[in-house]
Amino acid sequence: MVQHLKQRFPVGTKIVIGGSEAFYKEIEASTDALQSAGFSVLFRAVPPLTNPVEEYPQVHSEFFRALNKAEVYLVVNLEKHGIPGYIGAGVFLEIGYVVTNNVLGKSNIKVVLVNLPHSNCAQDELDLWYKLGWYEVINKGG
């Protein structure tokens, strides 16, 4: 993943890392690797919240503020519940937020997924957005 990003983006590129909280350890390791390679990680997905009702609004606010400053939104989408390249509703919403702002000309954030996406909630949209070039995928194998 780091090698792919180093080939595509210059050192110092501002990155936000998202993905299911189930992938927090992998996201944490990716953050360390990207920072060691000279990238600027503005925000990363957080571990499971202990009190979501209180913590969720603040975490989401911080996430979207960082995303508005990012140059790349990196989605760590691994296998979850037997689904390879898992994209849940929350991450789909975040990708949609970036895509919408890019289409409206409000931003130019590159969306990069680690794996080909599979989603129970929006597979048709994800497939179309890929064909339109609205995101790229690092690992395109099955």
The CATH number that applies at residue 66 is 3.40.50.450
pLDDT tens by residue, 39-84? 999 999 888 889 999 999 999 999 999 999 999 999 999 999 999 9
Instruction: Identify the pLDDT of residue 94.
Output: 96
Q: For the whole model, what pTM was predicted?
A: 0.95
Domain that holds residue 25: 2-139
The whole-chain average pLDDT of the chain stands at 94
Position 142 confidence tier, pLDDT thresholds 50, 70, 90: low
**Residue 136, SS3 per DSSP:** strand
> Can you spell out the DSSP letters for 68-121?
HH-SEEEE----BTTBTTB--HHHHHHHHHHHHHHHTTS--PEEEEEE--B-TT
Which amino acid is it at 31? T
Buried b vs exposed e over 39-74: b needs ≥16 C-beta within 10 Å? bebbbbbeeeeeeeeeeeeeeeeebeebbeebbbbb
Upper half-sphere CA count for residue 7 (Cβ side, 13 Å)? 5
Query: How many domains are there within the chain?
Result: 1
Residue in 134, 98, 112 with CA at minimum distance from that of residue 2: 112
